[in-house]
Amino acid sequence: MHNFELVKPTSIEDAVAALKEEEAQPYSGGQTLLPTMKARLAAPTKLVSLLGIDELRYVRIEGDQVHVGGATTHATVARETKEAYPGLASLAARIGDPAVRNRGTIGGSLANNDPSACYPAAALGSGATIKTDRREIAADDFFEGMFMTALEEGEIVTGVTFPIPQAARYEKFIQPASRFPLTAVFVAKYDAGVRVAVTGASELGVFRWTEAEEALSKTFSADAVKDLKVDDADMISDLHGSGAYRAHLTKVMTARAVTALS
């Protein structure tokens, strides 16, 4: 790790101002950022901690929506959305281990957009809205591919709003070493239709499996996806599994989520 300066503002405004400096970077749970700094893969000269900003740490249930502050930990989400949005709570409860869940935050996870991260699947699968210091971005427009998002330089995720579905389920098939998803699927059933978001599988990052959405919106049963084919062209192939295997898992995990919900 190289030396760096750490500032800990107490308001979003001050944080955004601090981030104007070149080479400044937001620091939230540090569960992704610190390991990369230790490995000297990142060397920001200034870290702007978001952990002192109270207005970034909350879970509010309002009507048919869950609002989560950008610097809210996975453990908090797991605990506080258990009743209002159990599908989301269960996803948060299965990220990493207790240490990771008590430090890592939703804003950090979404901003990082690791192609194997869990939260992007919940955000995309719920049609969530990502709020930043300057605008609101629909999840459909937020994720722009592996480690890429619509966020601009110095823009911070301040909160996420999840519309609460009738039911939702996250099926996570873990990669045996990292225990991140090898392939995981978030299925959410809304009045307007079913959403299916897939993470861990594609070179392009989290994506919606639209054929399955259409089929499931018509008939919500595992049989509805039985004869669909997942295109494996952009699927990740590595030590842990081929693209074809990930395409297969996409279907199996989707079917299992649906079975569990029906």
Partner 1 sequence: MPKDGGIGDSTRRREDIRFLTGAGRYSDDINVHGQTYAHFVRSDVAHGRIRSIDVAGAEAMPGVLKVFTSKDFEGAGGVPCGWLITSRDGTPMQEPKHPILAEGKVRHVGDPIAVVVAETKAQARDAADALEIDIEMLDAACDMKAALEDGAPRVHDDLSSNLCYDWGFVEDNREAVDEAIKAAAHVTTLELVNNRLVANPMEPRVAIGEYNPATDEHTLYTTSQNPHVIRLLMGAFVLNIPEHKLRVVAPDVGGGFGTKIFHYAEEAFVTFAAKALRRPVKWTSSRSEAFMSDAHGRDHVTKIELALDADNNFTALRTTTLANMGAYLSTFAPSVPTWLHGTLMAGNYKTPLIYVNVKAVFTNTVPVDAYRGAGRPEATFQLERVVDKAARELGVSPVELRRQNFITAFPYATPVAVEYDTGNYHATMDKLLELSDYSGFETRATDSKSRGKLRGFGIAHYIEACGIAPSNLVGQLGARAGLYESATVRVNATGSISVMTGSHSHGQGHETTFAQVISEMIGIDASQVDIVHGDTARTPMGMGTYGSRSIAVGGSAMVRAAEKVIAKAKRIAAHLMEASEGDIELKDGQFTIAGTDKSVAWGDVTLAAYVPHNYPLEEIEPGLEETAFYDPANFTYPSGGYGCEVEVDPETGHVKVLAFTAADDFGNVINPMIVDGQVHGGVAQGIGQAMMENCAYDAEGQLISASYMDYAMPRAGDVPMFTVDASCATPCTHNPLGVKGCGEAGAIGSPPAVVNAVIDALQRGGYDVGHIDMPLIPSRVWQAIQDATAAKR
Ligand X SMILES: Cc1cc2nc3c(=O)[nH]c(=O)nc-3n(C[C@H](O)[C@H](O)[C@H](O)COP(=O)(O)OP(=O)(O)OC[C@H]3O[C@@H](n4cnc5c(N)ncnc54)[C@H](O)[C@@H]3O)c2cc1C
- What is the contact surface with partner 1 in residues (CB under 8 A)? 1-3, 39-40, 173, 176-178, 182, 239-242, 245, 248-249, 252
Q: Which is nearer to partner 1, 130 or 235 (CB)?
A: 235
Q: Which is nearer to ligand X, 18 or 33 (CB)?
A: 33
Q: Which is nearer to partner 1, 192 or 244 (CB)?
A: 244
User: Which of ligand X, partner 1, none binds 143 (CB below 5-8 Å, type-dependent)?
Assistant: none
Contact residue for ligand X among 16, 32, 92, 246 (CB under 6 A): 32
Q: Which is nearer to partner 1, 97 or 152 (CB)?
A: 97
Q: Does 76 bind ligand X (CB under 6 A)?
A: no
Closest CB 182 distance from partner 1, rounded Å: 8
User: Which of ligand X, partner 1, none binds 108 (CB below 5-8 Å, type-dependent)?
Assistant: ligand X
Contact residue for ligand X among 112, 126, 202, 254 (CB under 6 A): 112
Closest CB 44 distance from partner 1, rounded Å: 16
User: Which of ligand X, partner 1, none binds 113 (CB below 5-8 Å, type-dependent)?
Assistant: none
Residues 157-196 that bind ligand X (CB under 6 A): 157, 179-180
SS (H, E, C) the chain: CCCCEEECCCCHHHHHHHCCCCCEEEECCCCCHHHHHHCCCCCCCEEEECCCCHHHCCEEEECCEEEEECCCEHHHHHHHCCCCCHHHHHHHHCCCCHHHHHHCEHHHHHHHCCCCCCHHHHHHHHCCEEEECCCEEEHHHHECCCCCECCCCCCCEEEEEEECCCEEEEEEEECCCCCCEEEEEEEEEECCEEEEEEECCECCCCEECHHHHHHHHHCCCCHHHHCCCCCCCCECCECCECHHHHHHHHHHHHHHHHHHHC
Q: Does 108 bind ligand X (CB under 6 A)?
A: yes
Closest CB 136 distance from partner 1, rounded Å: 34
Residues 175 and 182: beta-carbon distance below 8 Å: yes
Closest CB 246 distance from partner 1, rounded Å: 9
Beta-bridge partners for 157? 132
Q: Does 50 bind ligand X (CB under 6 A)?
A: yes
Q: Does 15 bind ligand X (CB under 6 A)?
A: no
Give the integer Cα–Cα distance in Å for 57 and 137.
Answer: 19
Residues that bind ligand X (CB under 6 A): 25-33, 50, 70, 95-96, 100, 103-105, 107-109, 111-112, 114, 117-119, 151, 156-157, 179-180
